[in-house]
Structure 1
Amino acid sequence: MTLDITLEDTRWQQVHLEALVTQVVALTLQHFDIDVEACEVSVLACDDQRIAELNNEFRDKPGATNVLSWPAEDLAAELPGGIPESPEPDFTGEIALGDIAISFDTCAREAMDAGKVMDDHIRHLIVHGVLHLLGYDHIRDPDATLMENVEVEILGKMGVDNPYVEKEALDTGRNG
């Protein structure tokens, strides 16, 4: 697997982002039986200011977000809730999947606000970003349901709790 990781914000070094990205991208691709060694992914690890610029430039949306993705190829299913196409290698045998940007500020804030472990939240956002590269989306409700279910399945393989279940609900369930 070719990973091009650019650390624009040095705070990403404290969470060992390269190791997390390598693990998560590989496990996500393996989930779909995609040849991990043939794939190429670029990751920009930045801050809120940079991701806000990218969000505005590419999505016409003001402000920061947690993760953005730019798929190299449109693999999205035509029908709502449909399974996206599998990526195919080019003539060299490589599979260029695309680019992901992730913001330290938003990621850290969301993890703290939700009472989540930062590494687990990073794993979730990287899985989310890779799924976008693979044609998954959450604009239409059936697509969002499919994407969330796949995220939960992949994260479960890493020992990460369902990110869509509220922490209070889990605590109540354990104590009640």
Structure 2
Amino acid sequence: MIDIAVQAESQWPQDIDWEALATRAATAAIGRTPQGGWLTDPALIEVAVRLTSDDEVQTLNRQYRQKDKPTNVLSFPMIQSDLLDTVTQNSDDGEVLLGDIVLAHGVCAAEAAERGISIEDHATHLIVHGCLHLLGHDHQNDAEAEAMESIERSTLAELGLHDPYPIED
């Protein structure tokens, strides 16, 4: 079971069920990865999602990544990627805090407008992307990027959403 806790600041549209959106995105992302076997375990997987301002994300990005600018999504894993396969075996209560995902409203809204998609669809993609980072995926080199993008594409297709990485001629 996956438990998603969402905290949305006021600049994010309030007529969207962000918790349902994030739960759907995280469940699909986790289910598409080798670590998705957790879904059949009795463990409770917990992820926190914070929908906040560009300013807050810029502060976090500066503090944790030494990049003094806002970015669309930040992920803060709580478990080392090499321990993911055995983490539920070492949990006293079967609960696993996978980590935190933080989205910047202004960056997310601008990217959605640029792509001609809704902020909900783009946030879904970013939550999928963030979950993959929590599970140890990365895009530091071409091979890692291709593998991660492949999972993102198939996850978003499962959710009925656009390909975020169209091949351009």
Q: How many residues align?
A: 161
The one-letter amino acid paired with 1:106 is V
TM-score, normalised with respect to structure 1: 0.83
Q: Contact 2:139/2:145 (CA < 8 Å) preserved in 1? A: yes
Q: CA RMSD in A?
A: 2.1
Distance change >3 Å, CA 38–CA 12, structure 1 → 2: same
Shifted more, 67-76 versus 36-45: the winner is 36-45
Give per-residue Cα distances to partners, 1:42-93, cap 9 Å, x unaligned: 11110111100111011000111000001111216xxxxxxx9536312221
Aligned to 1:38: 44
SS of 2:81 mapped into structure 1: coil
Give per-residue Cα distances to partners, 1:68-124, cap 9 Å, x unaligned: 001111216xxxxxxx95363122211210011001111110010111232221111
Distance change >3 Å, CA 85–CA 95, structure 1 → 2: closer
TM-score, normalised with respect to structure 2: 0.86
1:19-58 to structure 2, matched below 5 A, reads: 19-31=20-32, 32-35=36-39, 38-58=44-64
Distance change >3 Å, CA 107–CA 87, structure 1 → 2: farther
Shifted more, 108-117 versus 14-23: the winner is 14-23
- The alpha carbon displacement at 1:34 in A equals 2.5
SS of 2:7 mapped into structure 1: strand
Quote the sequence identity (%). Answer: 34
Structure 2 gaps of 5+ residues are none
Aligned to 1:150: 151
2:76 maps to 1:70: yes
Q: Contact 1:87/1:95 (CA < 8 Å) preserved in 2? A: no
The one-letter amino acid paired with 1:139 is Q
Q: Contact 2:5/2:19 (CA < 8 Å) preserved in 1? A: no
The one-letter amino acid paired with 1:162 is D
